[in-house]
Amino acid sequence: MGINMAYKVPFLDLKSINLEYENEFKSIIEDVLESGWFVNGGQLSKFEKEYAAFSGAKYCIGVGNGLEALRLLLLANNIGQGDEVLVPSNTFIATWLAVTQVGATPIPVEPDKFTYNIDPSLLSASLTNKTKAIIPVHLYGQLANLSEINKFAHDHNLVVIEDAAQSQGALFDGLSSANFGNSSATSFYPGKNLGALGDAGAVLTNDNVVAEKIRILRNYGSNEKYIHDIIGTNSRLDEIQAAFLRLKLKNLSRDNQRRIQIARTYSDLISNSAIVLPFCPKMSSPAWHLYVIRTKNRNSFMSYMRDLGIETLIHYPVPPHKQKCYLNEYLNYDLGLTEVLCEEIVSLPISPILSDSQVEYVVEAINKYNG
């Protein structure tokens, strides 16, 4: 397959997704050029207010990317050398890297076999006197079981930091993740539900002390120009990206509604005994960042789909504990379910610009698949 192969149903066509904003993007570039102000300005503070309101959190602090949002939250909670942090074994590697980068140790916890999110009933088996925090990831856009995770954290005096990179707009029983009271990290990487035209991320919190710490940490440890009270870093969300994000935020609910509609069509109409559809608890209203199915002969399924012009991807083919950078440290862990999932998962196209006929074409193709 050549990289230029034109799919009838591409997985995620970022060029087309951004096309509707072309003229407005150009006038934003002119405005920012005209203003002569490129970082830490009015566009960022307006975006922070607007995204906080969208998320139901009191404070939003823009940072350079999602990994930085996680890392700064760990630093703000004084997590570092000698500490252990419970993380899902089934996640994108950034969740683990943030923990490693502050000098702490990621301790993998296996997922629930239906939702693929961290299984709260397994947390206690991984608890030690070094455990300081839990990072639940709202994988594929579905909120993890926050009520049970928070209860466990409360009972054992642990901090909960949510990885909300994939769950912008997700609800559980009508509540957003911010309503559960933890701080969270999100990412505006171009492929996320709310995507910039480059890297960007944010911390969301209801805690004014955490908010203030993140503001200082992202800006060289400084609250006042040229006065540095702590060792900080440079992790900023540029004015131009903030302005692009403000524009696209206006359509995030509309785009998420379209994702929900596509997910519903897939879940209602796909019927093939070789395919396991995603499980969604009754109260759960995911943001459907990804629509992930399972199938035993994945290679043959993916090439069947490709031959029909449908692009599918794997999120993620190799779990963090199997990556070369972590391999030696996790040889003694039994993470069998994660490994099975990584062999069987496939993500179907679900971007908000897919047409009804493209969605129906995917459904028909899968229903005819002879797995």
Of 163 and 275, which CB lies nearer to ligand PLP in the complex structure?
163
Q: To the nearest whole angstrom, how small is the minimum distance from the Cβ of residue 211 to ligand PLP?
A: 20
CB of 296 to ligand PLP, least distance (A): 26
Which residues contact residue 78 at a Cβ distance below 8 angstroms, ignoring those fewer than 6 apart? none
CB of residue 166 vs ligand PLP: minimum separation in angstroms?
5
At its nearest, how many Å lie between ligand PLP and the CB of residue 143?
Answer: 13
- Residue 209 beta carbon to ligand PLP: minimum distance, rounded to whole angstroms: 24
**What is the chain's Cα-based Rg?**
21
Question: Rounded distance, CA 261 to CA 75, Å?
Answer: 39
What's the rounded Cα separation, in Å, for the pair 315 and 38?
Answer: 35
- Give me the residues that bind ligand PLP (CB under 6 A), please: 65-67, 91-92, 94-95, 137, 163, 165-166, 187, 189, 199, 201
Q: How far is CA 358 from CA 124, 140, 271, 310, 315, in A?
A: 45, 21, 17, 9, 22
Cα separation of 195 and 286, whole Å?
Answer: 17
* Residue 197: both structure tokens together: 């035209």
Nearer to ligand PLP, 102 or 365 (CB): 102
> 347 or 358: whose CB is closer to ligand PLP?
347
Q: Whose Cβ is closer to ligand PLP: residue 136's or residue 349's? A: 136
Q: Which is nearer to ligand PLP, 67 or 160 (CB)?
A: 67
**Which residue of this chain has its Cβ atom nearest to ligand PLP in the complex?**
66
In the chain, count H helices and then E strands. Answer: 12, 14
Q: Least distance (Å) from ligand PLP to the CB of residue 93?
A: 8
Q: Judged by CB, which is closer to ligand PLP: 27, or 323?
A: 323
Structure tokens at 157: 């005096």
Closer of 189 and 304 to ligand PLP (Cβ)? 189
The CB-of-131 to ligand PLP minimum distance in angstroms stands at: 21
Q: Indicate the residue among 131 and 193 with the shorter CB distance to ligand PLP.
A: 193
Phi and psi at 241, nearest 5°, equal -70, -40
Residue 291 beta carbon to ligand PLP: minimum distance, rounded to whole angstroms: 15
Helix residue ranges per DSSP H, the chain: 14-19, 22-35, 42-55, 66-76, 94-101, 146-155, 208-217, 239-249, 252-269, 298-307, 336-344, 356-368
- Kindly give the interhelix angle for 66-76 and 208-217, rounded to the nearest 10 degrees: 120
Q: Report d(CA 172, CA 143) in Å as an integer.
A: 7
Alpha-carbon distance 20 to 75, whole Å?
A: 39
The SS3 call for residue 168 is coil
| 52-69 as b/e: b if 16+ CB within 10 A | bebbebebbbbbbbbbbb
